[in-house]
Each structure stands twice: as structure tokens, then as C-alpha cells.
Structure 1
Amino acid sequence: MHLVRHAQASFGAADYDNLSDLGHRQSIALGVALKRQGVRPDKVFIGAMKRHRQTWEGMAAGMGPDAEPEILPGLNEFDFTGLLNARFADGGAPKGMHDDRRAHFRTLRDTMLMWQRDEIDTPPEQFADFSARVRDARDQIAASGVSTALAVSSGGAIGRTVAEITGGPADQMIALQLQVKNCAVARLVISRNGTWLNGFNETPHITAENEQEMLTYS
């Protein structure tokens, strides 16, 4: 399975769940690169978020032909805005928590650790429930029996997937999530006997010539 993180979304905008102009270019470039590698998915799966569908549409434009994806809500990202707000429901949120990249990701890292330890009251979703739905989406893809599956998801879901199948502790998800580049590809080998990681954070669409523009993390 080729597990793809969505292209650059609109960080700091009123609607984060929408690709930026660069994000649209990234998704097309990834489609072109995967086609060059000979990747021809038998079936496509995406989360229910707009940025997932937009990323696949761009990839399809680069790969051709298009295919109607199956929607698996388990591939969705956790509600990081709601989680941050739940942590600071009584005040004390750091300045720039939602719109300054450095402040956002520093605060999110600590907040996710608290979330995993069940230390946040009334989060939008319990960590155990998030983990279970991500695992269920992976199981549904495995049960489809297709030879070459392609799925578009988000950094948190991908980080959780990789941490789990490699036997890492829960907090390994955070380190992995913060490394996942926009439009990066993780390659999983899925069989009746289990699931193995065969590649992580691959960016075949990025070259020395376009790296300064195309390499983004949020």
C-alpha cells in the first residue's frame, strides 16, 4: 500500500482543510513522479476531509486515469484545533497557538503527550478511539484484497500507523507525525500474516531543483 500524506493545506487560514496553491502543485507533481515509478493503484482510498480528496484529484491529474476513491473516515486527522482548545479551556493558551507555526507545533507536541495519557478533559476524541479507527481503516484496506492500494490520509494518522506496525510506543507517533512531509509516501506491505513498513517519508516528486519550493511540512 502507498500511504500518502495530503499536500500542503492552508495553515493559519479560516479553513485549514483546503489545499494551498502550492499544495495543488505538489499533488500533481507527486502523481507524475509515481507514474514514472510505474505505480498503478488497483484501488484508491481517502479520508473524508477536503484536503484528502483535493490531493487525490491532483495526483490523478498527474498519474491518469482518474478513479473514484472509496472514503474511509478512519483515515481522517484528529481534531488538533479542538484538542488544543480543550487543553486550554480554562485559559492560559500560548500566544500564536493556532497561527504561528513554531508556537503551534511546540504546543501541539506537549498536548498530544497529555492526550495519550488521558490528561485532557473532554477532548474531541479519545486517543484510544483515534487509534482504533485508524487501525480499522487499515484493516478495511487489507480486507479489500487489492494488489496495489493507494490511500491519502494525514500526518497524525500516518504517524500512528507507522508507530503501531513497527511496535513503537504511543509517543513515537508524535515524532513520526512531525517528520512527515506534505505529499510524502509511506509504503506498507500487507499480507495475511501482518503488515510491515517498507518505506517512510519518501518524496519522489522533490528534486534538488525544486526542493526549496516543494518541500513543506504543514
Structure 2
Amino acid sequence: MSTLVLMRHGQASFGAARYDALSEVGQAQARATGQWLRTQGVQPTAVLHGPRQRQADTAAWLLRDAGFELRGVEHALLDEFAEGEEIFSTAEQLLGRSMALNAGRERIEILRDYDATCRAWGNGEVDIPGRLSLVDFRAQLREWLNSHSQAQQAPGQTEWVVTSAGSIAALVCEVMGLPNASWYSLLRVIRNASLTEVLYSKGKVSLLSFNGVSHLPAHLNTSM
């Protein structure tokens, strides 16, 4: 058997001019994960990551602090379903109010609108311009998972994949055979730098664990 560990990137810069950058907390989460991995005495066969800067940087900090002589390998299909700025823009069109943090609204209100827009996209109630629907997004990740599982025939391998919450939720739906309606319920609970384990064994793919954060100190346990 072999294992695929899906890691959500560290905390990004929610509400900043550029979402796709790790915050200081995000860097600390990636480093803490690398330090934890080093103590486990197990070196991944490979570390893969999506094309976003926050995904690549999480992988880089992880590898540096783990002390592994590996280079992260980018996989374009491990991209998120949309960028923060795109979701903000869609939310403004959908809900008719500003998503700017400097517009006098409370952060919690903006987070609720952000979540509502993600849920609406997942339910097929709104399109994000230039982005796939959830049906097509899942199909893309299903193709990646199937091709990757076929290549994972050698026993004892452990690969790490640094991607985003939407991708992890979609992959878990694929592994578990869950409907699209389950995607948002998974998305909203996935923590920054959390670990989800997928097991390959005798041609089957199974979920071993979901959204684990026990490797992080309590002060680095965040969701956004």
C-alpha cells in the first residue's frame, strides 16, 4: 500500500490586496509542519504542489524545515477552484454589497458573504467568470487522482500534495463517492496546513484520515 497526504496550504492573506501570499502565520504553519515531519522519521517519496504561490511557498517552507533534499513538483491540475479576488468580485455581483475590508463592514460579515458565495458556486447557483463549474472541477481532479493512483503501484510510498481547501474537498468527495452537495460541508471545515490521508491498496483508494491538525501547536490552528 502507499499513501497520499493532502495538505492545505498555510494561511493566505485574506482581505489583503493580494490573497495569494502566505501570511506570517501561514509561513509558521508550513515550518511547523516541516519540523513535525522531520521528527516522524519518514521522508516522503515526493512533494507535489499546485501552481499558486501560497501552495508553492508552503511546500518550500515545509521542505526546508523538514531538512529533506527534495524539490517540490508543480501539478497544474492541483489549482484551487477560484482565487480570493475572484470570489470577492462574484460575491459583490451576487449579493450587491462591497467586500472591501475598508468599507466599514465587520470582518465576520465579509467572511459570511465569502462562504455564501462559495456555497452558491458549489450548488451551481452562480458562475465564477473564467472558472470551471464544480462538476467540471471534480472531473479534472478525478482525472488527476485516477492517473496518479495508477502510477502509485510500488508499496510503501508516501507522497505529499500541497493544494487548497476546495481541491481537497473535491478529492475527498471523489474518494468517498459523495455528491456535489457534500463539497461545501467539507470545504468550510478544512483548516490551514491540515493533513488528509488517502490510502492506495490493491487497486482501491480509501480515505484514511481527514483534516488533521494535531501536528500544529494550538496557536497556529486557523481556518482562514
TM-score of the two chains, using structure 2 as the length reference: 0.84
Provide the aligned length of Structure 1 versus Structure 2: 214
The yes-or-no answer on 1:68 pairing with 2:82 is no
Aligned partner of residue 120 in structure 1, secondary structure: coil
What is the percent sequence identity of the aligned residues?
28
The yes-or-no answer on 1:215 pairing with 2:221 is yes
Aligned partner of 1:23 among 23, 26, 35: 26
TM-fit CA distance, 1:39 = 3.0
Aligned partner of 2:126 among 110, 117, 120: 120
TM-fit CA distance, 1:195 = 1.4
Aligned partner of residue 180 in structure 2, secondary structure: coil
* Residue 14 to residue 114, structure 1, CA distance change in 2 (3 Å): same
Q: Is the 8 A contact 2:122 2:184 kept in 1?
A: no
**One-letter amino acid of the structure 1 residue matched with residue 184 of structure 2:** I
TM-score of the two chains, using structure 1 as the length reference: 0.86
Aligned partner of residue 175 in structure 1, secondary structure: helix
Matched residue, 1:107:
113
* Residue 216 to residue 91, structure 1, CA distance change in 2 (3 Å): closer
Matched residue, 2:191:
181
**One-letter amino acid of the structure 2 residue matched with residue 118 of structure 1:** G
The within-5 A match list for 1:1-218 is: 1-79=4-82, 80-86=84-90, 88-89=92-93, 92-93=96-97, 96=100, 101-121=107-127, 123-125=129-131, 126-145=133-152, 147-191=157-201, 193-207=203-217, 211=218, 213-218=219-224
Q: Is the 8 A contact 1:87 1:121 kept in 2?
A: no
**One-letter amino acid of the structure 2 residue matched with residue 107 of structure 1:** D
TM-fit CA distance, 1:65 = 1.6
**Distance in 1 separating the partners of 2:119 and 2:101:** 16
**Distance in 1 separating the partners of 2:142 and 2:99:** 35
TM-fit CA distance, 1:157 = 0.6
**Distance in 2 separating the partners of 1:167 and 1:131:** 11
Give the gaps of 5 or more residues in structure 1.
none
Q: Is the 8 A contact 1:97 1:103 kept in 2?
A: no
Give the gaps of 5 or more residues in structure 2.
none
**Distance in 1 separating the partners of 2:179 and 2:73:** 30
Q: Deviations over 1:54-113 (max 9, x none)?
A: 101111112122312221122111115324523543771355589954234422333234
Q: Deviations over 1:131-181 (max 9, x none)?
A: 122222323432332621110000111111112211222121112111111
